[in-house]
Amino acid sequence: AQSVTQPDIHITVSEGASLELRCNYSYGATPYLFWYVQSPGQGLQLLLKYFSGDTLVQGIKGFEAEFKRSQSSFNLRKPSVHWSDAAEYFCAVGAPDDYKLSFGAGTTVTVRA
C-alpha cells in the first residue's frame, strides 16, 4: 500500500519569499501524485497533479512541483509567496489502478508581513 510523509508540520515564511514544501511517498511503481490546499474552514482544492511525463508540473496560483523518482519525492514550490497562500497543504499519492488516495498529515503555512 502507498503512503505519504510530509516532514514539516508548520512553516512560516515572509511575504515575497520563496516556499518549498516537502513530500515523500512510498509506492512500488510510478505513482499518481497530488498537492491539495485547504484554506481555513474550507474544503480541499487541487493545486496540481503528476501522472507521467515531464517531471516538473505547473499548477494553479503560481505553484509548481517536481517529481524525483530517485528520492521518492514530490516537493511543492512557489517563488514568491502572497499572504493569501496561508493555508494547509496536503500531498497525496494514488496507484494508477486504484481510485483511493493516501494523504500526508499536512503542512500548515503561515505568511508574515
Tell me how far, at minimum, the Cβ of 92 lies from another protein, in Å: 8
43 sits near another protein (criterion: CB under 8 A): yes
Cell 508548520 sits at which residue?
Answer: 10
Whether the Cβ atoms of residue 113 and residue 100 lie closer than 8 Å to each other: no
Decide if residue 45 touches another protein (CB under 8 A): yes
Check the CA dihedral 91-85-46-32 and report its sign. negative
Under the binding rule (CB under 8 A), the answer on residue 10 touching another protein is no
CA 15 to the chain's CA centroid: 19
- Residue 84 binds to another protein (criterion: CB under 8 A): no
Residues that bind another protein (CB under 8 A): 4, 9, 32, 34, 36, 42-46, 49, 51, 90, 94, 99-106
